[in-house]
Structure 1
Amino acid sequence: MQIFASADIGQRDEQQDAYATSEQTIVVADGMGGHAGGAEASQAAVRAYLEELAPLVTRDAILDAIRWACQEVAAASVGGTTLVTASLVAEPRGWRALVAWVGDSRAYLVRDGEAELLTDDHAAPDGGLYRWLPDEATPDILELELVEGDLLVLCTDGVSNALDAVELAQCCDADRDPAEWIVEQALDAGASDNCTAVVCVL
């Protein structure tokens, strides 16, 4: 398993995205909407989530870690943030992944050259979020089986607003760092927001 990560400030004045990785977990957060404290909120969220997440990753462990992240975000910032995370557990025939999210940062599975969106944006038709940290932080959680050759992509909306699933899959098929290439292509496509991608390659 290899993990790649890339982030760019884009056309914003401040980098309000944050990400963190461990041996089995990747997590991405996006400080909300350019609001004051967005950078502090996203940084606190990813740091606290990884600190609290139990070594044996279960649904309950994820819920506990997100609750702790909410407390830390509330203590550190007046801002809010999204959060998307994936934890992988090795199994005899591959990996089991637990994916959780709050907000509109996304997770994709790239398999055999095609990208499948795993998450549903917690956003109203006008784009406003109805779930976020620390206030409305009930996550959705899904579990899936992965095999060698699969890629898990976590990204902020700066990426997903600029690239569709086909374009994202093409970035993962290139002979180079997939996270770096995703961010570069999003910027080339006109992304104005911060752009962050973390890719786990199995």
Structure 2
Amino acid sequence: MAHRDSTEPGAVTVAALTDTGPRKANEDRMFTAVSDDGSWVIAVADGLGGHARGDEAAQAAVDGLPERIGSGADMATAFAEANERVLGLSRVLREENPWVVPARIPMSTLCVAAWTPEGGLLIGWMGDTMPFVVRRGQDGYTGSCCGRPHRGPFGGIEVCLGWPPEDEGHGAGLVEVEMVDGLEDSELPDVVIIASDGAWEPLAIDYGGAEWLWDDSPAGIGSACDPGADEASGVAESVLTKALGLGLNDNATIAVAYRRRPPDR
């Protein structure tokens, strides 16, 4: 578990938790950072199941992530650099055999959320590691997913880091990251949660389907958040515990950023 907590009003806390579940190895990786001015970054990467060296791909995805992401251009650069690190794992392999089967190529999902005073809240993702925005009320938490999984009609990942480019020419390292940005301070959620598919799928299955992702009623992601949790670690623990209680079929990882409301709110 990684975390940084403060009890001062208006302060931000971050935390991350993971569980291997029934798998022999954990191929999820996580990243958290908080700067002196309150800027923060959280991220979760999930090495694609069935592909070789998924743990290395996920580690490469989070290695080198900046501790400050202040614009959409910064976010796009962070993903492009992460993609290049993952591609580096398989470049020699592909040079030796251009027809290497996809299952031998390391790939990873990545979801990153960041906030800075100048750039506001930015969220980007590739794959099915998903971001949730959550608000705290008198009766507990409510919120929903602010993205969509990059999956095909049969459940396969269609967008991820490490997908071999068609050529190695100009622009081959660029990636199309899907982003949420432009939220004003008054629109900022109290909590941002990033969950690998192994963490959110048990909750969705219990609800009855993927529609749970976008359900902002008390039955949505808020139902997995402990109403008494008032810091990132408490929210992360409650969401992962709920998923564990429903039964994991994969590695499960949660990263959380929690913004403590000032007294006038």
Q: Cα distance, 1:174 vs. partner?
A: 3.3
Residue 184 of structure 2 corresponds to: 145
Out of 142, 155, 159, the position equivalent to 2:199 is 159
Which stretch has the larger CA shift, 16-25 or 165-174? 165-174
Out of 62, 66, 88, the position equivalent to 2:115 is 88
Residue 169 of structure 1 corresponds to: 222
Q: For each residue in 1:69-118, what CA deviation from the matched residue of structure 2 results, as whole angstroms up to 9, or x when unmatched?
A: 11111223541000001111237xxx921000001110001113212110
Q: Is the 8 A contact 2:15 2:32 kept in 1?
A: no
1:72 and 1:168 map into 2 onto residues whose CA distance is 32
C-alpha spacing 1:74/1:56, structure 2 compared with 1 (3 Å): closer
C-alpha spacing 1:75/1:118, structure 2 compared with 1 (3 Å): same
Cα root mean square deviation, aligned: 2.1
C-alpha spacing 1:154/1:56, structure 2 compared with 1 (3 Å): closer
Q: Is the 8 A contact 2:240 2:254 kept in 1?
A: yes
Q: Cα distance, 1:149 vs. partner?
A: 6.7
- Structure 2 unaligned blocks of 5 or more: 1-11, 35-39, 91-104, 165-174, 205-211, 213-218, 260-265
Q: For each residue in 1:33-70, what CA deviation from the matched residue of structure 2 results, as whole angstroms up to 9, or x when unmatched?
A: 142210000011011333xx7x4521111111111111
Q: Is 1:100 equivalent to 2:124 in the alignment?
A: yes
Out of 189, 197, 202, the position equivalent to 2:254 is 197
Out of 21, 32, 35, the position equivalent to 1:10 is 21
Q: Is 1:35 equivalent to 2:26 in the alignment?
A: no
Residue 6 of structure 2 corresponds to: none
- Normalised by the size of structure 1, how large is the TM-score? 0.88
Q: Is the 8 A contact 2:235 2:256 kept in 1?
A: yes
C-alpha spacing 1:190/1:180, structure 2 compared with 1 (3 Å): same
Local SS of the residue matching 1:196: strand
- Structure 1 unaligned blocks of 5 or more: none
Local SS of the residue matching 2:156: coil
Which stretch has the larger CA shift, 55-64 or 103-112? 55-64
2:131 and 2:69 map into 1 onto residues whose CA distance is 21
C-alpha spacing 1:170/1:129, structure 2 compared with 1 (3 Å): same
Q: Cα distance, 1:170 vs. partner?
A: 2.4
Q: Is 1:75 equivalent to 2:88 in the alignment?
A: yes
Which stretch has the larger CA shift, 172-181 or 192-201? 172-181
C-alpha spacing 1:69/1:149, structure 2 compared with 1 (3 Å): closer
